[in-house]
Structures are given as C-alpha cells and as structure tokens.
C-alpha cells in the first residue's frame, strides 16, 4: 500500500486530502466561530445580578419574595457606578386620581426614582405607556385597615423595591398623598439624612399603652411598646430589617387586633427596640388630625389655596434634621380628594416648585 500524501497549503480556505489508492478528493470546509455562548457565561456577569427585575408581576409568593429580598452585600463599597434612587411605594385601593401631579413631579428625574403600586388584586390599571406608573403594579393581596394584612402589603412593597439594589430610600404613600417640594429638594433631603423617618412614641392612655397585650412578652414588654404614624420614609437598612423580621411579626399578628391597630404599632415598636438610634422619631408626611375621629381630615377643591399650605403646613415651627433645627419638616401631605387635582396643578409651580 502506498503512503498517503497530505498537502496543506498555508492561507488556503480548504484542505485537500489525496489518497493514492483512490481517485477520491475530500474537501473540509472551514468552521466559522459561533456567536452562541453558554447560558452560564451570561449569568456570571455582574449586571445579571444587580439589574432590577424587568417585570414586576413575578410569580413569587411572599415567603419566596422576602427571602429573595433579604440578599444583602456585606462589602459596603460597590464595584460599579451606583446612583442611589428613591422608591416611591403607593399603597392604594385602586386608581391614582392625583397621578397627573405626580407625573409632573417626577419629570426629568428618571434615573433617580423607582415606583411600586400595591392595589386591590381585582384592580387593573390602564396607564398609557408614556406614564411613569405604566406596568408598576406589583403582585398584591387585599389589605384591611387596622389588620396585619395592611402591614403585609407594606412589607410586600418594601420587598419588591429591595430587589432593585439602587433603591436607597423607601417612601410609603397613599393615593391621597401629594409632594410638597420639588424632586431635587426631596431627593437631597432624604439622601443626606442620617436618620430614617418613623414616628415612635411611648403614649400613655387607652390609645397607646392601653392597646398593649401582656401576651406580647417577652419579645415586647410594656415599656418597649410604641405608637406612630403609618406613613414612613426609611433607608435601605431599616427597609431590610422590616422585611426579614420573624421575631416580632407573630406576636403582633396574634395579639394586636382591633382595637389595637397593628399598622400604628408594629413597625414603630420593632424599630425602636432594634434601631432607636437610627430613627428621627417623626414622619415627613403631614396629616391633619385636628378634626378628631378615627381618620384624618380630607381636603378638596375649595381648600386648595396658597394660604392653606402656608398656614397649615409651612408655618408650623421647627423640627430637627440631622440633629440641627430646621424649618423644612414635611415633604409630603395627605389626605387630598380627587377634586383637589386641578387647583393643585395650578399652584404646583408657585407653591411646590415643579
């Protein structure tokens, strides 16, 4: 048998192989480099771990969501350029009648905020694609006033917002809330604060300590019992503390029921026990309780004037901001009826600065 001669010429696109015992010629075509990459290579890139969810309507239940939201880097410096954002969390029953005012407030600050909406499960929003509220609803459940389901909704909002690692501050709002300042002032006010804004007071009498149940001990003693407003503004650390809590949650669920209103006691008490030194002990959301009753005053079209905001809200003395006296004490206010929208839009540029 004669030996085979294999001719390989440098720079040729094919290799010709000649066999002396046959007249066959075999051509081997070049193989182009594939653009397909294994999926594990893509998921190993940092961006795949830090990018926010593209679709808020995930299929996780609360246990899965809270577990996922509890992931926290222990190295404090970020290996990428991170612009801190504020998560605006709307706890609503359905529509957002004051949305046009918020649209104007958010305009031009798209890289500094995130929006999350928790509504009744039966409500389906119809915001246009151009709206900042478009597809910002999260998987929701029924939330009843004064019940633990209300706190569940707030924790659900926090957990969804924690999935975006750029969210540094978390603001709880309702459909009747409005901003009192322009976006830049609110953004800097929160990001420069050393404290989270949660009211937490030791209130004697039937509506404070009188709501305490001895079955709360030993996790919560009477001297640790606190009361505060439902509406808060917290940083990422305290948002995480609220979501991961399993120590205090069962006690409040079982032993704080009407006439103990859990949304007024659970977070103020838990955070005061764990992180009192991180609380400003006040809320940035102005509410008018001067009329008495179980619910604060609601303001409509006839109430909205420049004098209303000056006398009711802006001229209310001083507060402390980073341990220094400040005349800027409120960034948000409630409750405002849908009829207030038109005059609010008319006054926004003069009174609120946007």
Q: State the Cα–Cα distance between residues 247 and 249, nearest whole angstrom.
A: 6
| Maximum distance among all Cα pairs of the chain, rounded to whole angstroms | 111
Instruction: Report the pLDDT value the prediction gives residue 25, as an integer from 0 to 100.
Output: 53
- Please report how many Cα atoms fall inside a 13 Å half-sphere around the Cα of residue 231, on the Cβ side: 23
Cα gap 36→7, rounded to integer Å: 33
How far from chain centre, in Å, is Cα 83? Answer: 15
pLDDT the model gives residue 31: 53
Q: Which residues of the chain form beta strands (DSSP E)? A: 5-7, 15-18, 25-28, 85-91, 113-118, 167-174, 178-179, 233-235, 285-286, 319-321, 324-326, 332-333
Could you tell me the pTM of the whole model?
0.86
Computed over every residue of the chain, the mean pLDDT equals 89
**Model confidence pLDDT, tens digit, residues 278-303:** 999 999 999 998 888 778 999 999 99
**C-alpha span between 175 and 178 (Å, rounded):** 8
What was the pLDDT predicted at 19? 41
Indicate the pLDDT class of residue 36, thresholds 50, 70 and 90.
Answer: low
The span from the CA of 225 to the CA of 51, in Å, is 39
pLDDT score for 35: 54
Per-residue pLDDT tens over the stretch 165-179:
999 999 999 999 999
Residue 256 exposed, middle or buried by CB count within 10 Å (0-12, 13-18, 19+): buried
In tens, the pLDDT along 51-61 reads: 888 789 999 99
pLDDT, tens only, 226-278 = 999 999 999 999 999 999 999 999 999 999 999 999 999 999 999 999 999 99
């Amino acid at each position: 048998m004669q030996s085979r001669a294999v001719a390989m010429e440098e720079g040729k696109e094919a290799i010709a192989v000649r066999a002396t015992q046959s007249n066959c010629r075999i051509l081997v075509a070049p193989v182009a480099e594939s653009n397909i990459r294994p999926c594990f290579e893509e998921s190993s890139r940092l961006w795949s771990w830090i990018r926010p969810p593209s679709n808020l309507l995930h299929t996780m239940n609360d246990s899965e969501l809270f577990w996922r939201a509890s992931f926290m880097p222990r190295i404090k410096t970020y290996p990428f350029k991170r612009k801190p954002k504020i998560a605006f969390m709307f706890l609503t029953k359905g529509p957002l009648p004051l949305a046009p005012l918020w649209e104007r407030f958010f305009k031009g600050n798209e890289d500094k905020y995130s929006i999350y909406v928790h509504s009744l499960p039966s409500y389906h929003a119809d915001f246009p694609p151009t709206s900042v509220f478009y597809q910002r609803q999260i998987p929701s459940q029924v939330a009843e006033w004064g019940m633990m389901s209300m706190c569940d909704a707030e924790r659900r909002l926090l957990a969804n917002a924690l999935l975006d690692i750029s969210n540094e501050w978390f603001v709880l709002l309702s459909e009747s809330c409005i901003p009192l300042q322009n976006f830049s002032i609110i953004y800097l006010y929160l990001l420069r604060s050393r404290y989270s804004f949660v009211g937490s007071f030791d209130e004697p009498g039937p509506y404070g300590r009188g709501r305490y149940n001895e079955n709360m001990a030993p996790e919560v003693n009477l001297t640790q019992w606190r009361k505060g407003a439902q509406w808060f503004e917290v940083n990422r650390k305290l948002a995480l503390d609220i979501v991961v809590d399993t120590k205090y949650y069962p006690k409040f669920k079982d032993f704080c029921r009407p006439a103990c209103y859990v949304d007024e006691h659970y977070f103020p008490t838990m955070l005061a026990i764990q992180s009192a030194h991180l609380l400003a002990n006040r809320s940035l959301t102005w509410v008018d309780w001067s009329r008495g009753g179980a619910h604060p005053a609601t303001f409509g079209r006839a109430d909205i004037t420049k004098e209303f905001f000056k006398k009711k809200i802006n001229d209310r003395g001083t507060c402390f901001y980073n341990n220094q006296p400040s005349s800027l004490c409120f960034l948000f206010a409630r409750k405002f009826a849908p009829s207030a929208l038109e005059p609010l839009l008319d006054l926004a540029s003069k009174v609120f600065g946007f």
